[in-house]
């Protein structure tokens, strides 16, 4: 298939004035997070609601991924669903991002901007959507198949989902956060996939991205202890070829350097005494 190219981006969608905005909207950057990565019970309950809504939005938008739709139309569907449920789309106005979700097609690793490009038969499309509700964020993404997808791409998508599932099972209080990347990289290596390094999972709660970094490759430098009550995302990006990527001129769209396809899945998790609870389920 021909390489992706930027297409026209529609005007920014309006959010009802009654919906509270995150503090960073239309500012150059968010206020640095200084709180604890361990959340109290009240914050966790609010996160359950935000994460559930984000998961419902992810699945709704994903159900519309099909040949003939534009990624801008997918953005409209996600935007209206979140606003109709009193949530703000966390990406809209985050460090200048112009849309309410990220749509990453084929060789786009992450942070694709929804635009006028039409989804084609055989595409794979990642939908990354975050809900800001009652002062907290819920963040999730999944890769969907459009029409008749080739076996190599289909396997990449299945195995990326499996890599996330394996990483979630590895989360245990007392372990170090780098166990996540160790598990993902060991699994991806079986198939010769590249594991993207520079985009990571992150702490999340009242802040969209707190200071906690969750790498998807094995890196002993990231040795934060996993503690009960932590909330963070795991969101591996696996590539058919090299792990290396380059950035479009828009400053957001990361594409694989060799033009081969990339898949991604993401959940927001809560660390429990016995492991990890997935919060981003519908």
DSSP designation for 30: P
Mean pLDDT confidence for 87-97:
98
| DSSP string computed for 153-217 | HHHHHHHHHHHHHHHHHH--TTSBTHHHHHHHHHHHHTTT-EE--SS-EEB-SSSSS-S-EE-SS
Mean pLDDT of the chain: 97
Residue 93 has pLDDT above 80, yes or no: yes
Mean pLDDT of 2-16: 96
Does 1 score more than 90 pLDDT? no
Is the predicted pLDDT of residue 269 greater than 80, yes or no?
yes
pLDDT at 10: 98
| 105 sits in which H/E element | strand 102-105
The pLDDT-based confidence of 5 (bands split at 50, 70, 90) is: very high
Contact 167, 183 (CB under 8 A): yes
Residue 132 has pLDDT above 90, yes or no: yes
Which of 160, 4, 146 is closest to 73 using CA atoms? 146
Closest CA to 239 of 213, 257, 214, 266: 257
Q: Please report which confidence band the pLDDT of residue 2 belongs to, taking 50, 70 and 90 as the band edges.
A: confident
Average pLDDT over residues 117-143: 98
What's the pLDDT tens digit per position in 15-68? 999 999 999 999 999 999 999 999 999 999 999 999 999 999 999 999 999 999
Residue 240's nearest CA partner among 256, 260, 264 is 260
Give the pLDDT band of residue 245 (cuts 50, 70, 90): very high
List, edge to edge, every strand of the sheet that includes 237-239.
Answer: 194-195, 237-239, 262-264
List, as one string, the DSSP characters of 223-265: -PBP-TTBEEEE--EEESS-S-EEE-TTSS-EEETT---EEE-
The answer, as to whether pTM is greater than 0.95, is yes
Task: Please compute the mean of the pLDDT values over residues 102-127 and round it to a whole number.
Answer: 98
Average pLDDT over residues 132-149: 98
Residue 170 confidence (pLDDT)? 98
Q: Which residues contact 56 (CB under 8 A, 6 or more apart)?
A: 81, 282
């Amino acid at each position: 298939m021909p390489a992706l190219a930027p297409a026209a981006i529609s005007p920014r969608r309006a959010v009802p004035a009654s919906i509270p905005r995150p503090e960073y909207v239309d500012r150059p950057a968010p206020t640095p997070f200084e709180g604890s990565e361990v959340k109290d019970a009240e914050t966790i309950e609010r996160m359950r609601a935000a994460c559930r809504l984000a998961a419902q939005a992810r699945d709704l938008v994903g159900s519309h991924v099909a040949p003939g739709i534009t990624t801008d139309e997918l953005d409209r569907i996600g935007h209206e669903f979140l606003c109709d449920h009193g949530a703000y789309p966390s990406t809209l106005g985050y460090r200048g991002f112009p849309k309410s979700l990220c749509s990453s097609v084929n060789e786009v690793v992450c942070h694709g901007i929804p635009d006028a490009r039409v989804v084609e038969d055989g595409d794979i499309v990642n939908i990354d959507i975050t809900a800001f509700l009652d002062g907290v964020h819920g963040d999730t993404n999944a890769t969907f198949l459009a029409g008749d997808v080739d076996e190599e791409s289909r396997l990449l998508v299945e195995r990326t989902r499996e890599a996330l599932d394996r990483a979630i099972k590895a989360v245990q209080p007392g372990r170090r956060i780098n166990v996540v990347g160790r598990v993902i990289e060991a699994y991806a290596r079986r198939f010769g996939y590249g594991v993207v390094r520079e985009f990571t999972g992150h702490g999340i709660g009242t802040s969209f991205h707190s200071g906690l970094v969750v790498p998807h490759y094995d890196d002993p430098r990231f040795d934060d202890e996993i503690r009960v009550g932590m909330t963070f995302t795991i969101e591996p990006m696996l590539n058919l070829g090299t792990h290396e990527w380059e950035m479009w001129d828009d400053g957001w769209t990361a594409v694989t350097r060799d033009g081969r396809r990339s898949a991604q899945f993401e959940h927001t998790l809560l660390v429990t005494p016995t492991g990890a609870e997935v919060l981003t389920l519908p």
